[in-house]
Amino acid sequence: MSRSESNDHANSESGAPPGWERVIAHADMDAFYASVEILDRPELRGLPVIVGGGANRGVVSSASYAARRFGVRSAMPTVEARRLCPHGVFVRGRMDRYVEISRTIREVFESFSPIVEPLSLDEAFLDLTGAGRLLGPPLAAASALKRRVLERTGLVVSVGVAPVKMAAKILSDLSKPDGLLAIGPEYLRAFLEPLPVERLWGVGRVTLERMHRAGICLIGDLARRDAGELRARFGSIGPHLRELACGRDPRPVVADWRRKSYGEENTFERDLASGADELGRALIAHAEALGRRLRADRVAARTITLKLKLARPLGGGRYPLVTRSLSLDAPTDDGAAIMRAVRALLARAAVGEKIRLAGVQAHHLERSDPRQLGLFDQKVAIAVARNARLNRALDAVARRFGEDAVTRGLAHAERAAPTHRIK
């Protein structure tokens, strides 16, 4: 990539179409478990397939569309499903198989967006805001997503696209089966108005009864009410639901990897002074192990935390805990960079006591693709790429010969302390 191209890339618009603040897709597999059973046993195609039993014995967990025509629904007692559909094909669930396919689906979702928020095995929000440049208008992107899921899994996904989460979910639901619906910001309110108010998230059975008593049946009824009146009647959820009814839903799509944190720690066989070599070696091992795990998951951390448990007992098996955190200028997945932060934190902690346990944690994760880190300066990008190559090579050695083979800075030292994951 030439310099001018990379600048164009950096300066281009967010990729969202005009008027769209965000482009949010909600993708939901059609009759997921039942469809997987039909995929694996094609002779079941077109038949009323009802998945129940297994871990959730006695309740329908998924029903094919042929079964739904008889009124069979998920969460219905299997006994009732048998009464409604006596000639139905009842099968036990195979959770391992559903999880396996779910992984493939997730891979496809993640190839469309770095920001995927799974809601269950077969359902996720995708933030497609930045995808416009590559994938075209929202409808084209969603249509490509449907095709790709079908190609990779043989299964059908329905997709709703809207500028807000709540509407995207309603749309995917309304579009089923094998559906695709998108709505732009200019039509959002008109689309929501005639829908029953229970379509909104947060309107459960009790709230719905109270809404009906207040004469609110449609989303439009709620949108037209006064926020103060709603607060008086329903408490703080009243104005919140009114915001949703007006098509305002500021909740972003939050990738599940962003919520995660990573940690490595160990308890020493004997308590150590804060300057002890063994402590330094353990921390290097933790930093390197963290770096490997971050790289394996293609994420980078912006915050590094040092965790020390002091040897002075507080009674009841408890010990004083010291934690110190540092925010990095740029997110990292590099063990050496993590260790530099750990050294700075160790100096800052200035622990004058013996230490019983030491750990390193990584928080505030981002995707580690350099293009998404805003590294458009070529020198920085090249340095990052070189470092990434080095780390990939180290990771390959670690996989072949074990983690101790590559623990940096330990060439002549004794084995690094074994580490274990805390999360």
Count the Cβ atoms, other than its own, within 10 Å of residue 60.
Answer: 26
Q: Is 102 in the site for Mg ion (CB under 5 A)?
A: no
Instruction: Kindly state the smallest distance separating residue 68's Cβ from Mg ion, in Å.
Output: 13
Q: CA 357, CA 373: separation in Å to the nearest integer?
A: 34
| Residue with smaller CB distance to Mg ion, 124 or 294 | 124
Instruction: Kindly state the smallest distance separating residue 146's Cβ from Mg ion, in Å.
Output: 14
Q: Tokens standing for 161?
A: 């696209």
Stretch that binds Mg ion, among 6-14, 28-36, 91-99, 103-111 (CB under 5 A): 28-36
Of 67, 92, 93, the closest CA to residue 80 belongs to 67
Beta bridge partners of residue 49, listed in sequence order: 89
| Residue with smaller CB distance to Mg ion, 122 or 333 | 122
SS3 (DSSP) at 115: coil
Instruction: Kindly state the smallest distance separating residue 267's Cβ from Mg ion, in Å.
Output: 44
Beta bridge partners of residue 266, listed in sequence order: 358
Stretch that binds Mg ion, among 29-37, 293-301, 361-369, 409-417 (CB under 5 A): 29-37
From the list 16, 29, 357, 406, which residue makes contact with Mg ion (rule: CB under 5 A)? 29
| Residue with smaller CB distance to Mg ion, 32 or 109 | 32
Instruction: Kindly state the smallest distance separating residue 29's Cβ from Mg ion, in Å.
Output: 5
Beta bridge partners of residue 91, listed in sequence order: 51
| Residue with smaller CB distance to Mg ion, 29 or 355 | 29
Q: Tokens standing for 351?
A: 């622990």
User: Residues binding Mg ion: what is the number (CB under 5 A)?
Assistant: 4
Q: Which residue has the tokens 């293009």?
A: 371
| Residue with smaller CB distance to Mg ion, 28 or 366 | 28
Of 70, 29, 79, the closest CA to residue 47 belongs to 70
SS3 (DSSP) at 204: coil
Which residue's C-beta sits nearest to Mg ion? 28
Instruction: Kindly state the smallest distance separating residue 31's Cβ from Mg ion, in Å.
Output: 7
Q: Is 164 in the site for Mg ion (CB under 5 A)?
A: no
Annotated catalytic sites, by residue?
A: 123
Site string for Mg ion, 165-204 (x = CB under 5 A): ----------------------------------------
Site string for Mg ion, 30-59 (x = CB under 5 A): --x---------------------------
Burial of 347 (0-12, 13-18, 19+ CB in 10 A): exposed
Q: Tokens standing for 336?
A: 């050496």
Q: Say if CB 365 and CB 299 are below 8 A apart.
A: yes
Longest dimension (CA), the chain: 78
Residue positions counted in the chain: 423
Site string for Mg ion, 112-131 (x = CB under 5 A): ----------x---------
Q: Is 155 in the site for Mg ion (CB under 5 A)?
A: no
Question: Looking only at residues 219 through 238 of this chain, which bind Mg ion when binding is defined by CB under 5 A?
Answer: none
Q: State phi, psi for 77 to the nearest 5 degrees.
A: -60, 140
Of 151, 175, 131, 171, the closest CA to residue 17 belongs to 131
| Residue with smaller CB distance to Mg ion, 28 or 334 | 28
Site of interaction with Mg ion (CB under 5 A): 28-29, 32, 122
